[in-house]
Amino acid sequence: MVGENFSLAGGLVAATTLFVLNLILESLSYRSKRISSILQENPIMLIYEGKILDDHLRRVKISTQELEAAVRERGVRNIKDVDLAVLEIDGNISVLSNNFKKKFTKKRRGHKIISKTIL
């Protein structure tokens, strides 16, 4: 982005440009549902009533092993016990089990996985 300019000023200009572009896109996305739908996908169902939706997994490039690990992290022993698992627009995998009484999320950032539980 800065070409052969390795100066501090060049780096600051590049970082500021990215920051401003991000603010503009966030603002446009917040104000317009159409722009928001262009910039980000909708949540994608991965498991429904204990059945893995393989086409959806392929579309979002999540392996069955990753999904099974996310389910196990939530304390659910078997995929068949999951009522609903959804890949949220922010990268979380939400897992609902026991007739939607418990909600669990798995946050993916790059290769590192951060977990949180919401009851």
Distance (Å, whole) CA 51 – CA 84: 9
Q: What strands lie across the sheet with 44-48, from one edge to the other?
A: 51-52, 44-48, 82-87, 92-97, 102-109, 112-118
Query: What SS3 state is found at 69?
Result: helix
User: Taking the model in full, what pTM does it have?
Assistant: 0.59
Q: What is the pLDDT of residues 20-65, one digit of tens each?
A: 999 999 999 889 988 887 888 789 999 999 999 999 999 999 999 9
pLDDT given at position 118: 46
pLDDT given at position 89: 84
Question: Tokens 């890949």 belong to which residue?
Answer: 87
Neighbouring C-alpha atoms within 13 Å toward the C-beta of 21: 6
Range with the largest mean pLDDT of 44-53, 71-80, 81-90: 44-53
Specify whether the CB–CB gap between 99 and 84 falls below 8 A: no
pLDDT at position 7 over 90 = no
Among residues of the chain, what percentage have pLDDT more than 70? 80
> 17 versus 118: which is more confidently predicted?
17
> 63 versus 4: which is more confidently predicted?
63
